Amino acid sequence: MKSLKVGIIGCGNIAAQYLDTFSRLSSVELVAVADLVPERAAEVAARVPGVRALGIDELLADPDVQLVVNLTIPAAHAEVAQRAIAAGKDVYTEKPLTADIPSAVALLDAATAAGVWVGSAPDTVLGTGVQTARKAIDDGLVGRPISATATMMTPGHERWHPHPDFYYLPGGGPLLDMGPYYVSALIQLLGPVVSVLGAASRTRDTRVIGSGARSGESIPVEVATHVTGVLTHASGALSTLVMSFDAVATKASSIEVHGEQGSLVVPDPNNFAGDVQLKALGDEGWATLPVSAGYVDAGRGVGIHDRAVTGADGARASGAVGFHSLEVMVSVLRSAEEGRSVAIESTCERPAPVPLSEI
């Protein structure tokens, strides 16, 4: 199998994780990088043999680049992806797919017209954690799924991120930043969503950067920083979602799935692995399930490996799933604003399960 040749646009903090994954893959070959700050691209190219630092226009025009990995900030996702599509490239975008529904619709329409593939993070749900949990559900270990909870509670990213501004601007916030991991996992586990009901709040209007050269600087907060949603899945299962940048900590499980015959603890969907625990009806305690599905020792970028080995039609981290996840999250925020239930207009196929696989 020939390797899929990719170029990265956006060489910020998250790029290092993709570089690590690509270094372990024979299915994907990184050939070029670009960034609005040329020095960042040059630093990456200096660390990775054979990789060229290019301008963004140069990378998009480069015939060697088959797929563009879009690691820009959320507000730039749509523009960069559209430029990649216009250049005839497949594109894989960090989450969320775009910052709003109209730009996401335009993006997928452009890709269809151009005959190129669009994929979207997160691909963490393809790891052994969520996939082992999914296999347990598919194998009937919890019986008919009734409900799920998904919880992410932190004090906010400004405490550790040296440039956290975009987390608190439109396209950011705890739901659009961290929610994709949880919503994508819930889609994997329970299938697509048909309606949502949401509530949201903003605790304060400014945040103070806690690290780096800008430590002590105040930045504006323009989005909700605590969001709760109830998702009704097409299967009838109900998921409760709590995403917060306002809490100190939580002891709640990242995700729990409850069925008529058992309950399942699912590991953090921001990670690829972790223990899956099951308590069946009548059991005295929790049992840790053996790893039974998913890409082993995966890292960010495994969704591009999945695209390379399955082809565009079989790729699991697809634009359709990314769009459905985005509509669910945007609709939770819309519901919070309007004080009513919101129907989800899109749907997606529940992605195929990932057999236990080495990358």
Q: DSSP assignment of 311-352, as one string?
A: -TTT-SSBHHHHHHHHHHHHHHHHHHHHTS-EE-----PPPP
Write down the pLDDT at residue 273.
Answer: 98
Query: For tokens 């994508």, what's the residue?
Result: 184
> What was the pLDDT predicted at 19?
97
Q: Which two tokens stand for residue 31?
A: 């050939």
Which pLDDT band holds residue 322 (cuts at 50, 70, 90)?
very high
Token representation of residue 23: 């270094």
pLDDT of residue 145: 98
| CA distance linking residue 147 with residue 230, whole number of Å | 10
Report the alpha-carbon angle 232-195-350, nearest 5: 65
Q: pLDDT tier at 56 (50, 70, 90 boundaries)?
A: very high
170 pLDDT tier (thresholds 50, 70, 90): confident
Relative to beta strand 357-358, strand 206-208 is: unpaired
Tokens 């409850």 identify what position? 258
What is the per-residue pLDDT across 176-217, written as a single tens digit (0 to 9) for each?
999 999 999 999 999 999 999 999 999 999 999 999 999 999
Average pLDDT, the chain: 96
pLDDT at 126 over 80: yes
In percent, the amount of the chain with pLDDT more than 70 equals 100
pLDDT of residue 161: 92
Alpha helices by DSSP H, the chain: 15-22, 38-47, 56-61, 77-86, 101-114, 128-138, 173-190, 302-310, 319-338
pLDDT value, residue 171 = 79
Is 308's pLDDT higher than 80?
yes
**Measured between alpha carbons, how far is 40 from 98 in angstroms, rounded to an integer?**
23
Residue 43 binned pLDDT confidence (cut-offs 50, 70, 90): very high
SS3 217: coil
* pLDDT digit string, tens, across residues 1-39: 689 999 999 999 899 999 999 999 999 999 999 999 999
Q: Report pTM.
A: 0.94
pLDDT band at 74 (very low <50, low <70, confident <90, very high): confident
pLDDT at site 2: 86
pLDDT tens for each residue of 96-117: 999 899 999 999 999 999 999 9
- CA 122 to centroid of chain Cα atoms: 3
- At 123 the pLDDT is 98
Which candidate, 38, 82, 78, 33, places its Cα nearest to that of 59? 33
| 354 φψ region: left (φ > 0), alpha (ψ -120 to 50), beta (else) | beta
What does residue 175 show for φ and ψ, rounded to 5 degrees? -70, -50
pLDDT above 90 covers a percentage of the chain that reads 96
pLDDT of res. 128: 98
Peptide bond into 96 cis (omega under 30): yes
Could you tell me the domains of the chain? 4-120 (3.40.50.720), 124-295+319-358 (3.30.360.10)
pLDDT of 255 strictly over 90: yes
- 262 - beta bridge partners? 280
Is a pLDDT exceeding 90 seen at residue 236? yes
Q: Is residue 249 predicted with pLDDT exceeding 90? A: yes
CA distance linking residue 251 with residue 312, whole number of Å: 39
